[in-house]
């Protein structure tokens, strides 16, 4: 069939495809443990439900302004003032269907064919594919010290005259690592000096542990919102565990937003007014929902660390935030795709291969699940891989015997 070469070359989202595989296995009655999830199990905050239900009840569900309803934009402006210490105008904000669509729209708006965008490994799976979708070139920068924290010297070496932007995601999906204040300060100064856009994907910025607090990149620039190279992306998916509501937003100079509005106007028009009302409800309601989610995730992180630390040969960096960690399984298998398939088949545990995040030999494990599933999941992985663990295990009603070690 004759299809676009570019479209055909875009990889399937591995996380969404694994969700589907897990769903199908569960439908067949298999006792699958999902350590691949990119969403917490909490319910949406009550105020979000009430505001969206009220909107739906009016029956008045029509197009909204392309950039979002004014009352939601007002809530985003307040959020930006409170969390980023920046006073911005409605012209600096655009609301879209999730941070994912915001980012795609932004890349479409910034990138000319052959422009390069720097992506810091380990990275979120969608960055390189989205950059390629707008005919840009993803330039992956991997810390040469083998760690998960980016280093300025590696980034500086990768910058060329084609570099248009750098994407920073801290705390980071998939490692959970939060980048240091020193690094954020240096990269802001570097981008402002070089005229490179700094795209801050702040989608997890409040899901931090051990008393850590978000770092606003705006703190490190003296430029005003219209002339800074700092662009921030955020949303309700992770902050409130409202992934299915599909609302995200961007804060950027007006000149960028103006073009993004045209792009959005010619593609999706706007996002649903019902879901925008939900986002407004979440942002203006009691923020205790965020604290409750953060505390639950911190506890889950502790359980996951405890379980993995007792796993011979597995090395793990303790996450500072998010709901992921990226343990190193190279002692068992250097091929993470192979390992992920093996664990799903033999132990019925969903993991995500590190290869997809630019870190081969690792697996991304999510602790946005129950404590019981974290414990059971790691126990099963141990059973499948570690000869020193018991030879038999029960999966559901079935007694499984390890006969491959
Ligand atoms: N950025 C990162 C780093 C993410 O992990 C995700 C979701 N997995 C997104 C953006 C997209 O979030 P949204 O649901 O708002 O599209």
Q: What is the pLDDT of residues 159-178, one digit of tens each?
A: 999 999 999 999 999 999 99
**pLDDT given at position 38:** 85
* Mean confidence (pLDDT) of the chain: 96
**pLDDT given at position 134:** 97
* CA 103 to ligand 1: nearest atom: 10
Pocket probe for ligand 1: among 126, 171, 368, the residue whose CB has the most ligand atoms within 8 Å is 126
Phi, psi of 38 (to 5 degrees): -105, 25
Cα of 225 vs centre of ligand 1, distance in Å, is 24
**pLDDT given at position 16:** 80
- DSSP 3-state of 23: helix
* Ligand 1 shell residues, CB under 6 Å: 38, 98-100, 124, 169, 173, 201, 203, 235, 237, 243, 248
**pLDDT given at position 21:** 85
Cα of 332 vs centre of ligand 1, distance in Å, is 30
**pLDDT given at position 103:** 98
**Looking at residue 310, what DSSP letter applies?**
T
Phi, psi of 164 (to 5 degrees): -100, -35
pLDDT band at 55 (very low <50, low <70, confident <90, very high): very high
**pLDDT given at position 304:** 98
Cα of 306 vs centre of ligand 1, distance in Å, is 27
pLDDT band at 320 (very low <50, low <70, confident <90, very high): very high
**Residue % of the chain over a pLDDT of 70:** 100
**pLDDT given at position 1:** 85
User: If we measure between CA atoms, which residue out of 236, 221, 245, 353 comes closest to residue 293?
Assistant: 236
Q: Which protein residue's CA is at the shortest distance from atom 5 of ligand 1?
A: 173
Per residue in 105-140, pLDDT (tens digit) is 999 999 999 999 999 999 999 999 999 999 999 999
Cα of 401 vs centre of ligand 1, distance in Å, is 39
* CA 39 to ligand 1: nearest atom: 8
Average confidence (pLDDT) over 220-241: 97
Instruction: Indicate the burial class of 30 (C-beta count within 10 angstroms; 0-12, 13-18, 19 or more).
Output: middle
Cα of 100 vs centre of ligand 1, distance in Å, is 6
* CA 102 to ligand 1: nearest atom: 16
* CA 99 to ligand 1: nearest atom: 15
Pocket probe for ligand 1: among 14, 98, 131, 249, the residue whose CB has the most ligand atoms within 8 Å is 98
Per residue in 188-218, pLDDT (tens digit) is 999 999 999 999 999 999 999 999 999 999 9
Q: Is the dihedral of CA 293, 148, 116, 10 positive or negative?
A: negative
Please give the C-alpha separations between residue 206 and each of 117, 203, 236, 291, 320, in angstroms, as whole numbers: 26, 8, 11, 9, 11
More confident of the two residues 1 and 298: 298
**Rounded-to-5 percentages of helix, strand, coil across the chain:** 45, 15, 40
Cα of 198 vs centre of ligand 1, distance in Å, is 17
Tell me if 276 sits within 8 A of 72, measured CB to CB.
yes
Per residue in 74-106, pLDDT (tens digit) is 999 999 999 999 999 999 999 999 999 999 999
Q: Which protein residue's CA is at the shortest distance from atom 8 of ligand 1?
A: 38
* CA 235 to ligand 1: nearest atom: 15
Per residue in 335-390, pLDDT (tens digit) is 999 999 999 999 999 999 999 999 999 999 999 999 999 999 999 999 999 999 99
Asked if residue 66 has pLDDT above 90, the reply is: yes
Q: Which two tokens mark 399?
A: 């007694």
**Residue % of the chain over a pLDDT of 90:** 90
Per residue in 36-49, pLDDT (tens digit) is 988 998 999 999 99
Q: What's the whole-model pTM score?
A: 0.96
Burial readout 114-134 (b: 16 or more C-beta within 10 A, e: otherwise): ebbbbbbbbbbbbbbebbbbb
Cα of 341 vs centre of ligand 1, distance in Å, is 24
**pLDDT given at position 397:** 84
Q: Which two tokens mark 209?
A: 């542990």
* CA 201 to ligand 1: nearest atom: 1
* CA 248 to ligand 1: nearest atom: 15
Cα of 203 vs centre of ligand 1, distance in Å, is 6
Cα of 324 vs centre of ligand 1, distance in Å, is 13
* CA 97 to ligand 1: nearest atom: 16
């Amino acid at each position: 069939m004759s299809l676009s070469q570019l479209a055909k070359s875009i990889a399937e989202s591995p996380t969404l495809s694994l969700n589907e595989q897990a769903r199908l296995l569960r439908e067949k009655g298999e006792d699958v443990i999902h350590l691949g999830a990119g969403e917490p199990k909490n319910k949406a905050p009550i105020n979000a439900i009430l505001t969206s239900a009220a909107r739906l009840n009016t029956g008045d569900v029509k197009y909204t302004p392309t950039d979002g309803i004014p009352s939601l934009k007002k809530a985003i402006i307040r959020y930006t003032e409170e969390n980023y210490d920046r006073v911005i105008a409605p012209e600096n904000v655009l609301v879209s269907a999730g941070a994912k669509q915001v980012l795609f729209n932004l890349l479409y708006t910034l990138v000319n064919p052959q422009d390069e965008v720097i992506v810091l490994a380990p990275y979120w799976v969608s960055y390189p594919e989205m950059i390629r979708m707008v005919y840009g070139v993803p330039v992956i920068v991997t810390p040469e010290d083998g760690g998960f924290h980016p280093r300025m010297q590696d980034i500086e070496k990768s910058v060329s005259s084609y570099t248009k932007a750098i994407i920073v995601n801290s705390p980071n999906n998939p490692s959970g690592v939060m980048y240091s204040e020193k690094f954020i300060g240096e990269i802001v100064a570097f981008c402002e000096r070089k005229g490179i856009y700094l795209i801050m994907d702040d989608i997890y910025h409040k899901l931090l542990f051990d008393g850590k607090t978000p770092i606003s990149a705006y703190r490190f620039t003296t430029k005003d919102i219209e002339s800074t190279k700092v662009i921030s992306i955020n949303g309700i998916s992770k902050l409130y565990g409202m992934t299915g509501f599909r609302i995200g937003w961007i804060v950027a100079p007006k000149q960028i937003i103006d073009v993004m509005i045209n792009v959005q106007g010619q593609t999706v028009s706007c996002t649903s007014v019902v879901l925008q009302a939900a986002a407004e409800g979440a942002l203006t309601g009691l923020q205790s929902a965020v604290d409750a989610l953060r505390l639950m995730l911190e506890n889950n992180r502790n359980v996951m660390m405890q379980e993995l630390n007792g796993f011979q040969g597995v090395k793990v960096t303790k996450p500072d935030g998010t709901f992921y960690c990226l343990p190193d399984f190279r002692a068992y298998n250097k091929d993470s795709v192979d390992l992920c398939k093996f664990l799903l088949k033999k132990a019925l545990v969903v993991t995500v291969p590190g290869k997809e995040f630019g870190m081969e030999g690792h697996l991304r494990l999510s602790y946005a699940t129950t404590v019981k599933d974290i414990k059971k999941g790691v126990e099963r992985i141990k059973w499948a891989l570690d000869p020193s663990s018991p030879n038999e295990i029960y999966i559901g009603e079935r007694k499984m015997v390890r006969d491959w070690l």
